[in-house]
């Protein structure tokens, strides 16, 4: 893979900001950074230039909650015309106590997946993913199913109960947080990360063989803006405690290093989900092998549901 051009989403702070900075320090020629507003992106670009002593950054506004914003960003990238060698889909959030649905009727923690799907497929169709491109999307340890208080939805059971066994319809209901979905912020977050693992597995079967995609958990890095929507207890009591327990968390920079490490992985592990070892929140990343993550039926159902919700097919 060439180190010519990288694009990082959710770059105005936290993991995305650190990753963008580390990419240039690692020898990348140019990094496109994105954020919800142009002023915020411009401010991040100026800081990155000052901190690295380079001019190797460009900023583009990209709000994944809005398909119109994704289309505008794609238009800018098409006009630029340069193929992307590393696509880092970092943007995401942990949902709060109250259910939040976007104006496009998508649950807030699921919206980044839909926007990232639209962006990725748009770039692929435009011929803007270079031969050898690596795509990394942010996963999380709760997707394993072994993190206390974080449970994922049993899709087969939910589909049987709510949609006569139709898993595509069941996933769409979860993506949209429909009234028949009992809202719990931890379950919503876990489902979002399980869906990301399924999306990566499905996408890997559809892209050219010389392009690879992985889900990578940055690990527990409490000092990010992703936790801004958490309830008072989780944000101001639990998170500070987690930071004090050895091995339970690490720095934002350490989390971002995982993304850069994955950019060097081969096509032989395309479609896999990498995170901390089972029951751990930090440490060397490894491929996760869990029955619920490797379910081909659920992976394909997720893909079809994402197409339906996003309006974008490969």
Q: Three-state SS string across 258-299, please?
A: HHHHHCCCCHHHCCCEEECCCCCCCCCCEECCCCCCCCHHHH
**Which pairing describes strands 273-275 and 30-35: parallel, antiparallel, or unpaired?**
unpaired
Q: Output the pTM of the full model.
A: 0.92
Condensed to tens digits (0 to 9), the pLDDT of residues 28-81 reads 999 999 999 999 999 999 999 999 999 999 999 999 999 999 999 999 999 999
- CA distances from residue 96 to 143, 224, 229 in whole angstroms, order as listed: 18, 15, 5
Condensed to tens digits (0 to 9), the pLDDT of residues 182-231 reads 999 999 999 999 999 999 999 999 999 999 999 999 998 775 554 554 55
CB 286 within 8 Å of CB 274: yes
Condensed to tens digits (0 to 9), the pLDDT of residues 129-151 reads 999 999 999 999 999 999 999 99
- Give the list of residues 6+ apart from residue 286 with CB closer than 8 angstroms, or none: 274, 275, 277
The rounded percent of the chain whose pLDDT value lies above 90 is 89
**Whether pLDDT at 153 is above 90:** yes
Please name the fold of domain 5-310.
Rossmann fold (3.40.50)
CB 195 within 8 Å of CB 171: yes
> Residue 22's Cα: distance from chain center in Å?
18
Q: What is the CA radius of gyration of the chain?
A: 18
Domain borders along the chain are 5-310
- Give the list of residues 6+ apart from residue 283 with CB closer than 8 angstroms, or none: 219, 247, 276, 277
């Amino acid at each position: 893979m060439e180190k010519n051009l990288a694009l990082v989403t959710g770059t105005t702070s936290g993991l995305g900001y650190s990753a963008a900075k580390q990419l240039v320090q690692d020898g990348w020629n140019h990094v496109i950074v994105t954020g919800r507003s142009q002023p915020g992106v411009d401010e991040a670009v100026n800081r990155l230039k000052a901190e690295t002593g380079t001019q190797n950054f460009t900023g583009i506004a990209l709000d994944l909650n809005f398909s119109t914003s994704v289309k505008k960003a794609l238009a800018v990238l098409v006009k630029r015309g340069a193929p992307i060698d590393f696509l880092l889909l970092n943007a995401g959030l942990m949902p709060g106590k109250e259910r939040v649905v976007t104006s496009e009727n998508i649950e807030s923690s699921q919206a980044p997946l839909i926007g990232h799907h639209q962006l990725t497929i748009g770039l692929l169709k435009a011929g803007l993913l270079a031969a050898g491109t690596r795509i990394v999307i942010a996963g999380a340890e709760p997707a394993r199913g072994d993190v206390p208080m974080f449970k994922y939805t049993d899709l087969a059971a939910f589909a049987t109960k709510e949609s006569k066994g139709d898993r595509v319809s069941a996933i769409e209901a979860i993506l949209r947080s429909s009234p028949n979905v009992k809202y719990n912020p931890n379950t919503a977050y876990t489902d979002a990360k399980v869906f990301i693992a399924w999306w990566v597995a499905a996408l890997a079967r559809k892209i050219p063989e010389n392009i690879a995609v992985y889900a990578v958990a940055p690990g527990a890095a409490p000092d990010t803006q992703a936790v801004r929507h958490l309830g008072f207890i989780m944000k101001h009591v639990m998170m500070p405690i987690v930071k004090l327990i050895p091995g339970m968390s690490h720095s934002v920079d350490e989390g971002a290093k995982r993304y850069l490490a994955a950019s060097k992985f081969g096509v032989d592990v395309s479609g896999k989900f990498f995170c901390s070892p089972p029951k751990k929140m930090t440490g060397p990343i490894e491929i996760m092998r869990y029955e619920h993550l490797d379910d081909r039926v659920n992976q394909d159902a997720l893909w079809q549901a994402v197409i339906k919700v996003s309006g974008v097919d490969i």
